[in-house]
Amino acid sequence: MVSMLFCVHRCCRGCAKDYFTIKIKERNIMEAVCPFCDEPDLTDDSVAAEYFNNLDIMLKNIVDSEVHELFQCKVRDRALMSDPNFRWCAACASGFIADPNRKRLVCPDCQAVTCALCKKPWEWQHDGISCEMFAQWKEANDPEYQAAGLERYLAENGIDCPKCKFKYALAKGGCMHFTCCQCKFEFCSGCGKPFLMSKKCNVSAYCEKLGLHAHHPRNCLFYLRDKEPKELQKLLEENGILYDIEPSYSQSEGCDSRKCPVMEQKELVDGIEDAICGQNIENGYAGLCRLHYVEYLVSLINKNRVDPLSIMDLNELQQELRRADKVFAEQKKTESDDAYHDRLVQLIRTEIPLAGDTT
Question: Which DSSP state fits 90?
Answer: T
First-to-last C-alpha distance (Å) of the chain? 63
Distances in whole angstroms, Cα of residue 252 to Cα of each of 100, 146, 150: 43, 13, 12
- 95: closest CA among 51, 103, 104, 82? 82
Helix axis angle, 65-81 relative to 13-26, nearest 10°?
Answer: 50
Distances in whole angstroms, Cα of residue 96 to Cα of each of 25, 85, 105, 129, 231: 21, 8, 10, 25, 43
CA distance 356 to 359: 9
**Which residue of the set 73, 175, 207, 255 is catalytic?**
175
Cβ-proximal residues to 307 (8 Å cutoff; 6+ apart), any chain: 218, 219, 349, 354, 357
CA distance 81 to 65: 25
CA distance 174 to 152: 18
What Rg, from alpha-carbon coordinates, does the chain have?
24
- 302: closest CA among 163, 195, 188, 212? 188
Distances in whole angstroms, Cα of residue 196 to Cα of each of 151, 177, 184, 310: 32, 11, 13, 29
Q: Is residue 175 among the annotated active site residues?
A: yes
- 193: closest CA among 210, 209, 359? 210
Residue numbers annotated as active site: 175
